[in-house]
């Protein structure tokens, strides 16, 4: 930790985001409930990581922990470094500066987060001026530039949120997230409420921004098929841990963990007769974090479970070039 001490590395070649052994649990009357149980990854400039899993797998807690956005009853341990700087050691002032300027986050249903009585130009302008008081005179020019970047005509700056469609509001949110030129964008279910064509537009926009601005991106969703189309790397979470990761297309078409296989099958391929009138999917529910089964937590739902699976929880192990999976069957012939 001490060897690469923070400040000097900004703009260096190290990862933008480095997460080490992150744990999050929530204090409840019945005791602590673990939500994230030891997650580590690095994300370099311009890299994209997709994180997929069902509700309750800990993916949103993980995202919120990275920018210290969790409620007070959350207990966090491990290490998160943004551009080399320890996020958990930041003062509140430093943290406020870092959110938006270093890392911005777009939440699910974020388009409902716009203030209904403010024009678009004021919403975006506020984000700019709060973080860069010197920008005052140039705010409007920057607003127009941002709107153009997200594919909205500059005249939309005069609109109120209710005058925009869902897709346009989501673009405004993306423009706000980009207002302070962050190097990392965390998007939590950014397209979930949008319909297919608008989703495709927003995904294409994010991909374009990612290339043009060299943004690093963490993309979180339950929809595995969306991730494969916009992320190079994919991590699958189950019961608070990463159970598989690797290049996204490979993970989707040739999963190594039985959970990934079930999750991928839950999304029908249009045109594939196997999915006609027969949704493949995942029987059962994810484990209750208060009563996680012993051993591998996927065992009760796993079609390939062995007797040894309930004995010990497997760690990630190498499952091919650039690939890892946390399953005892990895490397064995089935």
Partner 1 sequence: MNPPPSPLLELHDVHVSFTAGKHARSGSPIARAVDGVDLSVDRGEIVALVGESGCGKTTLARAILGLEQPGRGQIRFDGEALPRSSKGLRAYRRRAQMVFQDPTGALNPRQTIYESVAEGLRIHKIDGDEEELVAGALSRSGLRPPEQFFLRYPHEISGGQRQRVVIAGAMALEPALLVADEPVASLDASVRGEIIRLMLGLVEQTNIAMLVVTHDLGLAWNIADRVAVMYLGRIVEVGPTEQVLDAPKHPYTEALLSVVPETKRMEQQILQGEPPDPTRVPEGCRFHPRCPAFANGEAARLGIAARCESEDPQPISVGPNHAAACHRNTASAAEPPGTAHGT
Smallest distance, Å, CB 270 to partner 1?
Answer: 5
| Cβ atoms of residues 293 and 310 within 8 Å | yes
Nearer to partner 1 by C-beta: 59 or 241? 59
Nearer to partner 1 by C-beta: 195 or 308? 195
Backbone φ and ψ for 295, nearest 5 degrees, come out as 70, -145
Residue 55 touches partner 1, criterion: CB under 8 A:
yes
Q: Please, where are the H alpha helices in the chain?
A: 59-66, 92-101, 120-131, 139-149, 166-178, 196-213, 224-230, 248-253, 258-265
Q: Which residue in this structure is represented by tokens 């006609």?
A: 276
Residue 153 touches partner 1, criterion: CB under 8 A:
no
Stretch that binds partner 1, among 43-51, 97-105, 164-172, 302-310 (CB under 8 A): 164-172
Residue 225 touches partner 1, criterion: CB under 8 A:
yes
Q: Considering only residues 281-320, where is the footprint of partner 1 by CB under 8 A?
A: 281-286
Residue 280 touches partner 1, criterion: CB under 8 A:
yes
245 DSSP β-pair partners: 235, 324
Residue 200 touches partner 1, criterion: CB under 8 A:
yes
Token pair recorded at residue 226: 């969306």
The site string for partner 1 over 230-269 (x = CB under 8 A, - otherwise) reads --------------------------------xx--xxxx
| Cβ atoms of residues 49 and 231 within 8 Å | yes
Which of 54, 79, 126, 254 lies at the binding interface for partner 1 (CB under 8 A)?
A: 54
User: What is the total count of residues that contact partner 1 (CB under 8 A)?
Assistant: 42
Q: How far is CA 176 from CA 135, 169, 173, in A?
A: 15, 11, 5
Stretch that binds partner 1, among 11-19, 123-131, 276-284, 291-299 (CB under 8 A): 276-284
Q: Compute CA 55 distance to the chain's CA centroid, rounded to the nearest angstrom.
A: 13
Nearer to partner 1 by C-beta: 97 or 282? 282
Which of 168, 210, 248, 260 lies at the binding interface for partner 1 (CB under 8 A)?
A: 168
Which of 9, 101, 149, 229 lies at the binding interface for partner 1 (CB under 8 A)?
A: 229
Token pair recorded at residue 251: 């993970």
Contacts of 96 (CB under 8 A, 6+ apart): none
Q: Which helix (H) or strand (E) holds 235?
A: strand 233-238
Smallest distance, Å, CB 265 to partner 1?
Answer: 9
Residue 199 touches partner 1, criterion: CB under 8 A:
yes
Nearer to partner 1 by C-beta: 169 or 323? 169
Among 164, 173, 165, 171, smallest CA distance to 123 is for 173
Report d(CA 96, CA 41) in Å as an integer: 24
Residue 149 touches partner 1, criterion: CB under 8 A:
no
Nearer to partner 1 by C-beta: 160 or 267? 267
Contacts of 46 (CB under 8 A, 6+ apart): 210, 211, 214, 215, 216
| Cβ atoms of residues 215 and 184 within 8 Å | yes
Residue 154 touches partner 1, criterion: CB under 8 A:
no
Residue 201 touches partner 1, criterion: CB under 8 A:
yes
| Cβ atoms of residues 315 and 257 within 8 Å | no
Positions that interact with partner 1 (CB under 8 A): 54-55, 165-168, 195-201, 203-204, 222-226, 228-229, 262-263, 266-271, 275-286
């Amino acid at each position: 930790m001490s060897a690469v001490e923070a400040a000097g590395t900004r703009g260096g070649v190290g990862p933008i985001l480095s997460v080490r052994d992150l744990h999050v649990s929530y204090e409840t009357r019945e005791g602590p409930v673990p939500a994230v149980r030891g997650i580590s990854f690095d994300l370099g400039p311009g890299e994209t990581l997709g994180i997929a899993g069902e509700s309750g797998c800990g993916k949103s807690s993980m995202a919120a922990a990275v920018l210290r956005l969790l409620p007070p009853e959350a207990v966090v341990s491990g290490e998160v470094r943004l551009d080399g700087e320890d996020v958990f050691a930041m003062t509140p002032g430093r943290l406020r500066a870092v959110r938006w300027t270093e890392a911005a986050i777009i939440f699910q249903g974020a388009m409902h987060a716009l203030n209904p009585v403010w024009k678009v130009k004021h919403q975006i302008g506020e984000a700019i001026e709060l973080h860069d008081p010197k920008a005052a005179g140039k705010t409007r020019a920057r607003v127009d530039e941002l709107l153009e970047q997200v594919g909205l005509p500059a005249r939309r700056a005069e609109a109120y949120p209710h005058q925009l469609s869902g897709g346009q509001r989501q673009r405004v949110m993306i423009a706000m997230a980009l207002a302070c030129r962050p190097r990392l964008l965390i998007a939590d279910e950014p397209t979930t409420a949008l319909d297919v064509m608008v989703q495709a537009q927003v995904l294409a926009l994010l991909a374009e921004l990612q290339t043009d601005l060299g943004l690093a991106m963490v993309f979180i969703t339950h929809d595995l098929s969306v991730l494969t189309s916009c992320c190079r790397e994919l991590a699958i979470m189950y019961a608070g841990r990463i159970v598989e990761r690797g290049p996204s297309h490979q993970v989707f078409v040739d999963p190594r963990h039985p959970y990934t296989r079930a999750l991928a099958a839950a999304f029908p391929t249009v045109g594939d007769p196997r999915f006609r009138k027969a949704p493949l999917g995942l029987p059962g529910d994810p484990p209750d974090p208060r009563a996680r089964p012993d051993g591998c937590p996927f065992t009760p739902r796993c079609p390939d479970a062995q007797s040894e699976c309930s004995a010990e929880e497997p760690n990630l192990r190498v499952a091919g070039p650039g690939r890892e999976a946390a399953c005892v069957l990895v490397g064995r012939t089935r």
